[in-house]
Amino acid sequence: MNGKPNPSKHDAAWLGDEDQGLVPEPLTEALDRIFASGPSETAMNAAQNKLDRALKAEEAMVVYYDYVPASPIGAFFVGLSEHGVVALSFEESEERFLDWLQRRLKATVVCEPGKLREVVSQVLEYLEGRRNVFTLTYDLRSATPFQRDVLTTVQEVPRGKYLTYGELARRIGKPGAARAVGQALGSNPIPILIPCHRVLASDGSLGGYSGRGGVRTKEALLRLEGAIQ
């Protein structure tokens, strides 16, 4: 013996030095065929198409906005995407409003008053008591599913009526979520158009309101609608 290892024929085959005498296992053969073939052409095309659509949607996301300097409740900003109204904000700083839009929607923001003409008109008509129903579409894609559920349901509360946070929680099938409902309404990106002001505390008090003027504005809106005297 020369001191060097003398692997068996089976070991040599297993190490790849010899392809004779080793019987491949069925599972190994099946895995080899899968790895060799790779993803199917159909699966690859489907994945590529999905990626292309996502990239296209990201590139095409543009939000137009306008500033309204005067209304019965003061100045406000409005934002509109190709899917509908995305924002109505009482923010006093244009810089902060634009920063909020860009962070929330990751979109290109363009000042384009002409595209917001109908939105602004309907909001002013409502605030001046000349409109009862909005005929606008809303873009709530940036909201969570729970927030969308709350905001969509509160739109069913008619002008001149109101309900409590607990009642709204029961309507969405979450009877113990009154506090979470209040938080979702507090983050409503389109106040007035989505009437979060029509939801009160369980004791009949006004509760909170995130818009300019807080509960004073909420009370004014409810009086305008005839919900309270």
CATH number of residue 103's parent domain: 3.30.160.70
Look at residues 106, 141, 176 and tell me which one is the last residue of a structural domain: 141
Q: Can you give the pTM of this predicted structure?
A: 0.72
Looking at the structure, do residues 72 and 121 belong to the same domain, yes or no? yes
The reply to whether 72 and 127 lie within a common domain is: yes
Residue 96: domain span: 41-141
Q: Does residue 61 contact residue 106 with C-beta atoms inside 8 Å?
A: yes
Q: What is the pLDDT along the chain (229 residues), one digit of tens a residue?
A: 555 555 555 444 444 444 455 555 666 676 677 666 666 667 767 777 676 565 555 555 799 999 999 999 899 999 999 999 999 999 889 999 999 998 888 889 999 999 999 999 999 999 999 999 999 999 999 899 999 999 999 999 999 999 999 999 999 999 999 999 999 999 999 999 999 999 999 988 998 887 777 899 999 999 999 998 8
Which member of 78, 196, 199, 200 is catalytic?
196
Same domain, residue pair 154 and 128: no
**Cα gap 12→145, rounded to integer Å:** 60
**Contact assessment for residue 79 and residue 87, using Cβ atoms and an 8 Å cutoff:** yes
Residue 186 lies in a domain: yes
Verify that 46 and 74 share a domain, yes or no: yes
111 is catalytic: no
Helix axis angle, 178-186 to 145-154, nearest 10°: 90
Together in a domain, 110 and 150: no
Residues 66 and 147 in one domain: no
**Tokens coding 177:** 């979520």
Over the stretch 38-67, which tens digit does the pLDDT of each residue have? 666 677 677 776 765 655 555 557 999 999
Instruction: Say which amino acid occupies 111.
Output: C
Q: How many domains does the chain have?
A: 2
Q: Per-residue pLDDT tens for 109-126?
A: 999 999 999 999 999 999
